[in-house]
Structure 1
Amino acid sequence: MSALQVQSAAGLLLLAALAWALGGFRRGVAIRVILAGIGLQLALAAVLLNVPPVRATFFLLGDAVDALATATRAGTSLVFGYLGGGPLPFAENRPGASFILFFQALPLVLVVGALSAVLYHWGVLPWVVRGMAGVLKRVFGLGGATGFSVAANVFVGMVEAPLMIRAWLARLTRSEMFVVMTAGLATISGNTLVVYALIISPVVPDAAGQLMTASLIAAPASILAALLMLPPADGEIATEGGEGIPEKLYDSSMDALVQGTQDGLNLLLGIMASLIVFVSIVALVNLAIEPLTGLTLQKIAGWVLWPVAWAMGIPVGEAATVASSLGVKMIINEFVSYLELAASGGAGLSDRSRLILTYALCGFTNLGSVGIMVGGMTAMCPERRTDIVKLGLPSLISGTIACCMTGAVVGVLTAP
């Protein structure tokens, strides 16, 4: 094992200790949870990254992403013409100048949203999520509702997963609510996974497989980070009854296709609006403080996160670059961080550091997503509004730690 891999291993433990410290060194954290959280992350990563048949399966995800992108381009070209990827009526003055994010990349959300709804209606996604929920319950002792929500978050977003356990939300303990919220921020949905994979594929080999692996590893990481920061209180009993998955959300495959498309449209518009608003607000704040201090919000966050970048196993000379990207993710969102990674071609980073950063960025840990999640969950469960609002910013911290744990895990298993 190289020195950098040892650094990642030590950093994984330091990140767990950081979560415990930020929670106030609370008592009641079970040793079983710590061992299971770290062990399951390492085991999942080892299997998904190093077992040839599993790796071959994940390589197929890259082909699936290419197929989805090609199919979506056929639709966007018909509707938007050259804006959507059709033949240009003029000469392109520089490579990539004709690429328009909203018309060419984001419409994938519509297609994947529709396909996800159909797969749910056919019973494919419920079958996969049931299996994952069962594993999380046995390993961590989570209640069925909490385990199901965490498992669902590997495939759906931070609002959709809690929506699936809406009937049990009001009965969750405070610790369980925190686990649900942390998992929502530490993972990404299938819709955005496809878009991100398309964006970073030029600089990250097997991008779709890597992002799916990151989202899977983030499930146990988020449970560990959340329970270290807010363990169950003495005498609390895990909420049961969440194993049941709504069997009928749609009347037919066509109904699933239509509703899935509508849900995808809502998400597409939400992504567009969030990008415009949060990038604008951050730019406005930076315009106010940069002339006076020479600093930006991203730089400040990057400085704060420099030790975290080092803890993931990033060499000292590259830690500032990685920390800066993590700062952009937290202040704006991971979408912009991935766009910057693709635009720079990973300049200044080794292949190993680029891979670690890809994993650490894979999650909705940003201020805008906290607002979306808190708003959605309080609408679903108004009687727990106080708890949900109070846990919003702490879940951003725990989710960020969980994402960085996935980066450290990959660092342990990847030689320089």
Structure 2
Amino acid sequence: MQNLQSAFGILALIAVAWAFSEQRRAVAWRQAAAALALTIALTFVMLKVPPVRAFFAAANAPVEALAAATRAGTTVVFGYLGGGPLPFDPKMPGGGFILAFQALPIVLMISALTTLLFYWKILPPIVRGFAYVLARTLGVGGAVGLSTAANIFVGMVEAPLFIRPYLAKLSRSELFVVMTGGMAGIAGTVLVLYATLLTASVPDAAGHFVIASVLGAPAAILIARVMVPEIENAATEGSLEEPEPVAASTMDAIVKGTSAGLELLLNIVAMLIVFVALVYLVNAMLGILPSVGGAPITLQRMLGTVMAPVCWLMGLPWSEAPAAGALMGTKTVLNEFVAYLDFAALSPEALSPRSRLIMLYALCGFANFGSLGIMVAGLTTMAPERRQEIVGLGLKSIIAGTLSTCVIGAIVGVLT
């Protein structure tokens, strides 16, 4: 019965996306059905065929190499703050992880690398290749497909860097797919950390995180196309124009890419500080209200109550839905890192093994208010002419990213 409950949840979650759609009559249901079928097929293959699952687990190696290369630089500059050996024993799992000095600097590396790849004429043919393949499967243009696929391995800001010259040309629907793709996945830089946190809670957590990252791409396209359907001629469908040269030489490309990455990094840090601080202030104001159930009212609790039915739709028993909903609320208001910490601290009785597996996938995304600040800062820096549109789609992208990971969780529930 729980499998049927999850199957019903898939349809219900898509219906919720349709309820938030800007143009309900314009939804291309054939494309949505294709994206759903692809997501289900990939889930079945990667969960039920061990060799395929092992292959995708190994695909994270290039990302780890890039993260290790960045860590080598941050260690020289920041020492143990940048990822070097700790001179002390951390008191909690992940206690030595510092976002600003270890994860965010990869933006510099990605920015310089992508500028080089564009200058060397390596990325433009890849973009056109994605346009050819994805236009015949899910009807997604090459630039959007490349950014969405890049989100399997890198974060919501690094992935759009791969298509920076095309961001200004994207249609509104394509821009929303890019934003939803960022919200529906996590970066390779934190994947290993989260897997370490949940090793004792979910068997083979690392493999599941890689699979969740892969599934985030088609699921994001599914939900994004339902919520913001394509109603204009997409700028990156079919043939793509050759972008203007990004640099005059290889060294110029490195310098320009690093400079652009530095500006991006500073914007990300500033926006993240402000958004987390604003959430703290809201919770402080809510603290004036009388406690409910022996605990103060917070944004996390409020969203947890709202998210409990969503967790039930994914296939969790109602008795476990409030605890799971609290995790979803924490992930949405703060971030998935804090949610996974709370997940790891849950007693074995709080969630069954099946429910834990579903929640691993449901929480595996950057859809939260802090990430919204990061995304808005990043995309508006890369495409300042789209600032108003990016800000306007921001809150909608959180909903889309959350629905995307919840659909993945429901599909896992069907197959588990």
Q: Work out whether the TM-score is over 0.5.
A: yes
Instruction: Show CA shifts across 1:276-316 (max 9, x none).
Output: 76555434433332341322111100111111111111111
Structure 1 equivalent of residue 40 of structure 2: 42
Which of residues 365, 368, 371 is equivalent to 1:366?
A: 368
Q: Which runs of 5+ in 2 are unaligned?
A: 292-296
Distance 2:349 2:240 in 1: 46
Q: 1:248-288: per-residue Cα shift (whole Å, max 9, x none)?
A: 999889x98xx89x969986x98887777655543443333
Equivalent of 1:407 in 401, 406, 409: 409
Distance 1:96 1:193, change over 3 A: closer
TM-superposition CA deviations, 1:30-75 (whole Å, max 9, x none): 22112112101101111111112112334557999999999979x9
Q: Which residue does the alignment assign to 1:312? A: 314
Distance 1:123 1:56 in 2: 32
Residues 127, 48 of structure 1: CA spacing in aligned structure 2 closer, same or farther, 3 A cutoff? Answer: farther
Query: After superposition, where does 1:1-400 map in structure 2 within 5 Å?
Result: 3-23=1-21, 26-58=24-56, 60=58, 79-80=79-80, 86=86, 96=92, 99-102=95-98, 107=102, 134-233=132-231, 236-239=232-235, 240=237, 241=239, 281-294=278-291, 295-344=297-346, 348-400=350-402
Report if aligned partners of 1:136, 1:142 keep a CA contact under 8 Å in 2: yes
- Residue 325 of structure 1 and its aligned partner are, at CA, apart by 0.4
Q: Which secondary structure does the structure 1 equivalent of 2:289 belong to?
A: helix
Report sequence identity in percent: 48
**C-alpha contact (below 8 Å) 2:60/2:188 kept by paired residues:** no
The separation in 2 between residues aligned to 1:302 and 1:152, in whole angstroms, is: 30
Q: 1:384 & 1:54 partners in 2: Cα distance?
A: 40
The 8 Å contact of residues 301 and 329 in structure 2, kept in 1 or not, is answered as yes
User: Shift of residue 372 of structure 1?
Assistant: 1.7
> How far apart, in 1, do the equivalents of 2:94 and 2:188 lie?
26
1:195 is displaced (CA, Å) by: 2.7
Question: For the Cα contact (< 8 Å) 1:222–1:402, is it kept in 2?
Answer: yes
In structure 2, relative to structure 1, the CA distance for the partners of 1:42 and 1:280 (3 Å cut) is same
The alpha-carbon deviation at position 221 of structure 1 amounts to 1.0
Residue 230 of structure 1, CA deviation: 1.5
d(CA) in 2 for partners of 1:191, 1:98 = 13
Q: Helix, strand or coil: the match of 1:293?
A: coil
CA RMSD of aligned residues (A): 4.2
Question: Partner of 1:170: helix, strand, or coil?
Answer: helix
1:41, 1:221 within 8 Å by CA — same for their partners in 2? yes
Alignment-mate amino acid for residue 304 of structure 2: G
- The superposition leaves residues 141-171 of structure 1 with CA deviations (integer Å, 9 ceiling, x where unpaired) of 1222222222222222222222332322222
SS at match of 1:401: helix
- 1:12·1:408 contact (CA, 8 Å) conserved in 2? yes
The one-letter code of the counterpart of 1:282 is V
Whether the aligned pair in 2 keeps the contact of 1:28 and 1:231 (CA below 8 Å) is yes
- The one-letter amino acid paired with 1:340 is D
Give the Å deviation of 1:343: 3.0
TM-score by length of 1: 0.79
Question: Which consecutive residues of structure 1, in runs of 5 or more, have no partner in the other structure?
Answer: none
Q: Give the count of matched residue pairs.
A: 404
Matched letter for residue 404 of structure 1: C
Q: 1:112 to 1:273 in 2, by over 3 A?
A: closer
Shift, 1:124, TM fit: 11
For 2:333, give the aligned amino acid. Answer: I
